[in-house]
Structure 1
Amino acid sequence: MGDLGTFLSLIGRRRGWMLAGGAMALTSALSGIGLLAIAGWYVGSAALAAGTGLVIFGISVRVLLRGFAVARVLGRYAERLVTHEATFRLLADIRLWFLECAIPLAPLKLGGFRGGDLLSRIVADVDALDGLYLRLLVPSVVAVVVAGAMLVLLGAFSPVIALTVLALLATAGLVVPAWMRRIGDASGAESVTAAADARTALVDMTQGMAELTAHGALDRQLAIIAEAEERLIGAQRHQAALAGLSAALSGFAANLAMLAVLWLGSQAIAAGGMAPAVLAMLVLAVIASFEAVSPLAAAYQLVGRIRTAAGRVLEIAHAPPSVTEPEAPTQMPTGNDIALVGLTARHEAAIAPALDRIDLSITEGSRLALVGPSGSGKSSLLTVLLRFLDYESGTLSIGGVDAKTLSGDALRGRMAMLSQASQIFAASLRDNLLIGRPDATDSDLTAALENAGLGDFLTDLPQGLDTWLGEGGVAVSGGQARRVALARVYLKDAPILLLDEPTEGLDAESERDVLARLAKIMIGRTTIMVTHHPAGLDLMDRVIRLEAGRLVE
Structure 2
Amino acid sequence: MKIFKIFRNDSWVKPFLGKYRKSLCWALVLGFITFFCAGALMFNSGYLISRSASLPENILLVYVPIVLTRAFGIGRPVFKYLERLTSHNWVLKLTSELRLKLYQVLEKDAIFFKKDYQTGNILGLLSEDINHIQNLYLRTVFPTVIAWLLYIFIVICLGYFSLWFALVMLLLFAILVILLPIWSTIVNGARQEQQKQMRNQLYTELTDNVLGISDWIFSQRSLEYAEKHIRLEQKFQKITKAIRNFNHKRNFLAQLVFCIIAIVLLIWTSQYFPGNHGGSANWIAAFVLAVFPLIDAFAPLSDAAQETNIYQDSLIRLNRLQDEQTKRTLNLERNEKKIVAPYTVKIKSLKFKYPDNAKLLINNLDLKIVDGEKIAILGKSGSGKSTLANLIRGDLTPTEGKVVLNQEETYKFGDKISNYIGVIHQAPYLFNTSIRNNLSIGNEGASEQELWDVLERVGLKKLVVELPDKLDTLVDEAGLRFSGGERHRLALARILLKDVPIIILDEPTVSLDPVTEQEVIETFIKELQGKTLIWITHHLQGLSLMDQVIFLEDGHLEMSGSPQKLARDNRHYRKLLAIDQGF
Normalising by the residue count of structure 2, what TM-score does the alignment of the two structures yield? 0.73
Match of 1:247 among 222, 242, 251: 251
Contact 1:246 1:298 in 2 (8 A): no
Contact 2:40 2:290 in 1 (8 A): yes
2: CA distance, partners of 1:452 / 1:144:
75
Match of 1:284 among 289, 305, 308: 289
- What code does the residue aligned with 1:188 have? Q
1: CA distance, partners of 2:217 / 2:387:
34
Aligned with 2:273: secondary structure?
helix
Structure 2 residue aligned with 1:518? 524
- What code does the residue aligned with 1:386 have? R
Deviation (angstroms), 1:266:
0.5
Contact 1:102 1:110 in 2 (8 A): no
2: CA distance, partners of 1:534 / 1:384:
23
- What code does the residue aligned with 2:216 have? L
1:387 aligns with 2:391: no
* Superposition map of 1:45-64 within 5 A: 48=56, 50-52=58-60
* Superposition map of 1:142-291 within 5 A: 142-270=146-274, 275-291=280-296
Structure 1 residue aligned with 2:39? 33
Alignment CA distance shift 1:393-1:214 (3 Å): closer
2: CA distance, partners of 1:378 / 1:298:
51
2: CA distance, partners of 1:4 / 1:480:
58
Deviation (angstroms), 1:218:
1.5
- Deviations for 1:396-448, whole angstroms, at most 9, x for unmatched residues? 446xx8467975223324542112375x59x846699489369699x999979
Deviation (angstroms), 1:157:
1.6
Alignment CA distance shift 1:79-1:213 (3 Å): same
Aligned with 1:266: secondary structure?
helix
Deviation (angstroms), 1:231:
2.1
1:361 aligns with 2:366: no
Structure 1 residue aligned with 2:16? 14
* Superposition map of 1:468-483 within 5 A: 468-469=477-478
Contact 2:509 2:520 in 1 (8 A): yes
Aligned with 1:184: secondary structure?
helix
Deviation (angstroms), 1:508:
0.9
Contact 2:442 2:495 in 1 (8 A): no
Aligned with 1:338: secondary structure?
coil
- Deviations for 1:328-362, whole angstroms, at most 9, x for unmatched residues? 35666384541346745432577797565555431
- Deviations for 1:88-141, whole angstroms, at most 9, x for unmatched residues? 444455555656666788667745755335434432354344332221222111
Percent of aligned pairs sharing the same letter: 21
- Deviations for 1:289-345, whole angstroms, at most 9, x for unmatched residues? 332111112333434555566677678777799978526356663845413467454
1:2 aligns with 2:8: no
RMSD value, Cα: 4.8
Deviation (angstroms), 1:254:
1.8
Alignment CA distance shift 1:280-1:192 (3 Å): same
Structure 2 residue aligned with 1:418? 424
Alignment CA distance shift 1:4-1:465 (3 Å): farther
- Deviations for 1:210-252, whole angstroms, at most 9, x for unmatched residues? 3322332121111122222222222222333333333322222
2: CA distance, partners of 1:192 / 1:257:
36
Alignment CA distance shift 1:324-1:110 (3 Å): same
- What code does the residue aligned with 2:218 have? A
* Superposition map of 1:22-171 within 5 A: 22-44=28-50, 48=56, 50-52=58-60, 65=69, 68-95=72-99, 110-111=114-115, 114-171=118-175
Contact 1:376 1:546 in 2 (8 A): no
Contact 1:201 1:221 in 2 (8 A): no
1:339 aligns with 2:341: no
Alignment CA distance shift 1:179-1:191 (3 Å): same
1: CA distance, partners of 2:93 / 2:182:
29
Contact 2:443 2:494 in 1 (8 A): no
Alignment CA distance shift 1:120-1:433 (3 Å): farther
Deviation (angstroms), 1:149:
0.3
Contact 2:439 2:451 in 1 (8 A): no
- What code does the residue aligned with 2:370 have? S
Alignment CA distance shift 1:100-1:244 (3 Å): same
* Superposition map of 1:306-325 within 5 A: 306=311
Normalising by the residue count of structure 1, what TM-score does the alignment of the two structures yield? 0.76
Alignment CA distance shift 1:361-1:73 (3 Å): same
Alignment CA distance shift 1:358-1:518 (3 Å): closer
2: CA distance, partners of 1:78 / 1:520:
71
Alignment CA distance shift 1:64-1:459 (3 Å): farther
Deviation (angstroms), 1:147:
0.4
What is the count of residue pairs matched by the alignment?
536
2: CA distance, partners of 1:531 / 1:3:
51
- What code does the residue aligned with 2:395 have? F
* Superposition map of 1:406-445 within 5 A: 407-420=413-426, 424=429, 428=432, 433=438, 436=441
Alignment CA distance shift 1:227-1:113 (3 Å): farther
- What code does the residue aligned with 1:511 have? E
Alignment CA distance shift 1:446-1:257 (3 Å): farther
Deviation (angstroms), 1:207:
2.5
Aligned with 2:548: secondary structure?
strand
Unaligned runs of 5+ in 1: none
Alignment CA distance shift 1:255-1:116 (3 Å): same
Aligned with 1:270: secondary structure?
coil
Contact 1:115 1:200 in 2 (8 A): yes
1: CA distance, partners of 2:58 / 2:526:
101
Structure 1 residue aligned with 2:573? none
Alignment CA distance shift 1:43-1:91 (3 Å): same
Q: Judge which range, 88-97 or 309-318, deviates more.
A: 309-318
Aligned with 1:346: secondary structure?
strand
Deviation (angstroms), 1:265:
0.6
Deviation (angstroms), 1:148:
0.3
Contact 2:392 2:403 in 1 (8 A): no
Higher-Rg member (1/2): 2
Alignment CA distance shift 1:406-1:110 (3 Å): closer
1: CA distance, partners of 2:50 / 2:500:
85
Unaligned runs of 5+ in 2: 562-583
Aligned with 2:32: secondary structure?
helix
Deviation (angstroms), 1:529:
3.3
